[in-house]
Structure 1
Amino acid sequence: MTNETLGDGSPGTGARTGWTREQASRIERTEDTVAPIVYPPETDQIPEVHIWDTWFLRERDGTLASVDGYRVCFSLTAPSDLLPGKRHDVATIRCFYSDDGRTWHDAGPVFEGALGQRQWAGSALYDDDGSAYLFYTAAGEEGSEDLTYTQRIVGASGGRIDTAGGFELSGPWTHHELLTPDGERYEREDQSRGMIYTFRDPWFFEDPGTGETWLLFEANTPVPEGSDACGGDAALQAFNGSVGVARSPTGDPLEWELADPLLDAVCVNQELERPHVVYRDGLYYLFVSSHLHTFAPGLEGFDALYGFVAEDLRGEYVPLNDSGLVATNPENAPFQSYSWMAFPHGEEVLVQSFFNYYDFAGETLDEIAHLSGAEQMRRFGGTLGPTLRLDVAGTRTRILGALGHWHIPLAGEELPPTDRELIRRGKASENGETGAGYGARPADRDADSE
C-alpha cells in the first residue's frame, strides 16, 4: 500500500492495515519517546481507592466535556487496602469531578446492577440533550461462583448530571449488551490460543470528517490452525491483537453493527489495549497501550503508548515514528505508568495515564509478586500520573514535557512553557510542572534506581 502524504502502510490479516514485525523491530527508546521519571505526589487526592484505567466524559465531537464548569472522569477502582495485583478481580467504576482541572473529588461508584462479575475500562459520552452514556466491559459471567473471563461490551444509558447543589451523577441506569465477538472478524474466547483473550475497552467516536458514529474496541483476529500467517509459525500466530470497530447506522449510542477491524498485529502483539483516536489537521491518530510481555517472540517492546496515523478512519495506517512507539517509561523505571489516553488541547496533544509501579526496575512486572505485601503496596502508585505533553505532526511525535499529577487543563487554559522552550530561550527550568521529575522525591528512594 502507498499513501502519498504519509508513506507506506502494510496489509493486515483481517484488517486493511497491519502492524508488521519489520515495523515493530524498530522500537527503541529515544529522547522524543521517553517520559520523565515520576515520583509519588505529595498528597494523594483520593487515598481511599486504588485508581487505574481512566477516561473522561466527552462530547460527540471528541472534545472533553465541560458540564457547568466541571471536568468529569471515570476510573477503574478498588479498595486501597487491597494488594494491587488483586484489583482487577473486583474492579468497579467510580466518577470523579473537578472545577479547576487540578483538584478532584470522588462522586462515588457510578451504578449498581452492572453486567458482569466486575467492570473493566470503557468510555463516556455527554450527549447533545444532556444525557450521559457509559460504555464499559462486562468481565465474567454474573452469578458464577468462580472468577471467569468472558468479555462483553456494554452500554449504560440514563445518566444525568445535576450541578444545582454541587455535583451529582445519577441514574436510573439501564444496561444494554451491545457487542459480542462473531468468531470471524473477532475471536471468541473458545477460539483463543494466546496468553490473553480480549474483547473489551469500548471507545465512542463520532468522525468529524464524515459524521459517522463508531465504537472502537480491543480484540483478537482469528488465525485458524494451519494458516500460513506468520510463515505458518503457530507460536507467532497466537499473538493476534487487533483494534476492532462497530458502526452505528443511525448515530444511536446503543445501536451497533460489527465491521472489519481498523488494524491488527498478527505475529507482532497479543494486546492492543484501550484503542482511541485523536482527529487533528484532517488526520486520524490511532493510539493503543501495550505491554512488554505481549510482544511476540523475537521482538522487544515496552510498556508504552503506541500510535498510527491515516487520512481516513478505516486506514491505511502508518506507524508513528517509524515503529509505532509514541511514549514509554524510562529504562530505570519501566513500569511507572500505564494505560495512556490522548486528547487534543490547543496546539498540543495531551496524554493522561495512571501511576503504576515506581522504585522498581525489574525485567518483568511478574517480579512484583515476589516482593512482600508491604513492598507491593509501597511501590504501587494507584493514582493518576502526570499528564504528558506531545507535539504531533504528520507521522512524527515528540514528548515536550509534562504537567502535574491529575492536571487535566480546562478548555482554553494556557499551558506553561516546556523544557524545550525554556532551553531555546536560554533559561534554565525552574523545576515546576515542566521539570525533569514529577511529584515528591521520596527520601527512602533506592540510590541504584536513579
Structure 2
Amino acid sequence: MLRVEETSGRVRAAPARWTVGDVARIDPARCPVAPLIGADDVARISDDLDIWDAWPVQDDDGTPAAIGAGETLWMALGAPRFDDPDARHGHARIHLLRHRDGRWQDLGPAMPDGFAPGSREWSGSAVLEADGTTLTLYFTAAGRRGEAETSFEQRLFRAHARLVIEDDTPALRDWRDLAEIVVRDPRYYMASDAGTGAIGTIKAFRDPAYFRDPADGRRALFFAGSRAEATGEFNGVIGRIDADRDGAPHWQLQPPIVDATDVNNELERPHVVAHGGRYYLFWSTQRHVFAPACAHAPTGLYGMVAESLDGDWTPLNGSGLVFANPADAPRQAYSWLVLPDLSVISFIDDWGRGTADAGARRFGATFAPVLHLTLDGERATLAGD
C-alpha cells in the first residue's frame, strides 16, 4: 500500500525516506567494493579532453542504440584539461562519442556553439527514435548563456536533432525545438542556485534520465533535486517528471519520490532499470556530501527497489548501498550508470590513492572498467561476489 499525505488539498504519494537508520546499516569494513583500478585501466579518449559523466544514445527501452555492426554512440561531459580537475565543471560541454571495435572516438561537442541556453552543459540522457534518425536530448543547462559571473542555476531542457552519417562518421545536424521541459515548483524543490557553489554544497535541479515503463508504456524523467523549505543543508531528493499518456510531448513535474533530508545533499544522476518484474532506482553519491551522522558512508552506487514505478521504494540491501569504491582508493570512480543488461559504466576519478595520500590529484578523466550487477528482489550485488 502506498503511503499518502495531504498537500494543498490534494492527496499524493509520500516520498520514500532514505534515513539515518538505513545508512547506519552500512559497515565500511564489510561492504561490497569495486575492483581496484590500476594504470593499465586508464586509457584516455584524447590527450587534451577530460570526460566524466556519460550516457548512451539509447533506444526507447534504454538499450544503447546500434548504429552499425558493433557500433554505438554515447554522450559525455567533456572539457579541456586543467591543473585543477574541479575547474572542468565551469567549462562542461556535452560531447558525442563513438564506440566501435572496442575503441572510443571523440566526435566533438554534440550541440553547436550558441545553441544551448546555459553557460555550461551538464548531464542528461538521449533517445534515438525507431526511425534511426530522430534524436531527443534531455539535458541540464547550468547558468545562463552570456552571464558575467558563473552561476549554479540549473534548468532542464529538451532538444531534437537529426543523426546522419557523413564520410563514415556519425554527426548530429539540424538541432531544433529547444524547450524547457518543466519549471521548478517551489513547493517541492529548492532553487538550484540556493547553495554556496562550493563543491559538495551545490543544490540540484539536474540530470534528467529518460525511462519508458515496459508495463504500460509510460514515459518519465528522473532527476536530482533539493527539498524545498529544508531546515538543514542536507536535503537531497529524487524527482520525477511524467509525460502525457496520450503521447503528446508535454511533461508534468511531480513531487519528490525519494527524500534524503538529514542524510545526504546530492543524489546524483538517478535512473531506473526494470528487471525481473521490479523497478530499480539507482543514484551515485560521495562521502563528503553525507550528513555528519552518516559520515561513515562511502562514495558509491546506491539504490532502491519497488514493485511499480509509483513505489513503495525500499533501500537495496537494507541500507541503500550497492557497492563502494575500495578503501585503498575511495575516490577512484564515480557517476555510475546501470544499463538494462545490468552492466555498469562510470568514469575514473582520483585513482590509485588513499584518503591520506599527499600530492596532486590523479584525475583519470576517462571511462572506468565496466562492472556488472546481479539483482534479486531487494538484494543487489556485484556479479561474482
- The answer to whether residue 103 in structure 2 is matched with residue 110 in structure 1 is no
Determine helix, strand or coil for the equivalent of 1:298.
Answer: helix
Deviation at 1:134, TM superposition (A): 1.0
Structure 2: distance between partners of 1:380 and 1:195: 21
Shift of residue 82 of structure 1? 5.0
Identify the residue that residue 178 of structure 1 maps to in structure 2. Answer: 181
Distance verdict in 2 for CA 1:209–1:44, change over 3 Å: same
The SS at the match of 2:349 is: strand
Q: Secondary structure at the match of 2:334?
A: strand
Q: Among 155, 166, 169, which residue is 2:168 paired with?
A: 166
Matched letter for residue 259 of structure 1:
Q
Equivalent residue for 1:137, pick from 133, 140, 145: 140
Give distance in 1, aligned partners of 2:42 and 2:63: 30
Structure 2: how far apart are the matches of 1:283 and 1:30? 30
> Which structure dedicates a bigger proportion of its chain to helix?
1
Distance 2:26 2:189 in 1: 27
**Cα 1:62–1:360, aligned 2, differ >3 Å: closer, same or farther?**
same
Letter in 1 for 2:84: L
What amino acid is the match of 1:219? G
Q: Counterpart of 1:137 in structure 2: which amino acid?
A: T
Cα displacement string for residues 361-406 of structure 1 (whole angstroms, at most 9, x for unaligned residues):
126xxx98xx4xxx33xx1101000111111111112212xxxxxx
For 1:393, the aligned partner's letter is: D
**Identity percentage of aligned residues:** 36
Alignment map for 1:174-323 (pairs within 5 Å)? 174=176, 175-189=178-192, 195-223=201-229, 234=231, 237-250=232-245, 254-299=249-294, 300-323=296-319
TM-aligned CA deviation for residue 86 of structure 1: 0.4
Scaled by the length of structure 1, what TM-score is found?
A: 0.77
CA distance in 2, matches of 1:32, 1:297: 19
Partner of 2:347: 354
Q: Secondary structure of 1:67's match?
A: strand
Which residue of 2 is the match for residue 155 of structure 1? 158
What is the match of residue 130 of structure 2? 128
Measure, in 1, the Cα distance between the counterparts of 2:337 and 2:60.
Answer: 17
**Count of aligned positions:** 369
CA distance in 2 between partners of 1:254 and 1:238 (Å): 35
Q: Could you tell me the TM-score, scaled by structure 2's length?
A: 0.89
Which ranges of structure 1 fall in alignment gaps of 5 or more residues? Answer: 3-8, 225-233, 401-417, 421-450
1:252 Cα deviation from its structure 2 partner? 5.2
Shift of 1:61: 1.5
CA RMSD of aligned residues (A): 2.5
Residues in 1 aligned to 2:247 and 2:142: alpha-carbon distance in whole angstroms: 24
Q: Distance in 2 between matches of 1:190 and 1:87?
A: 19
Offset of residue 87 of structure 1:
0.3
Displacement of 1:56 in angstroms is: 0.7
Residues 1:94 and 2:95 aligned together: yes
Aligned 8 A contact 1:203 1:274 in 2: yes
Q: CA deviation at 1:192?
A: 5.8
Distance 1:85 1:218 in 2: 20
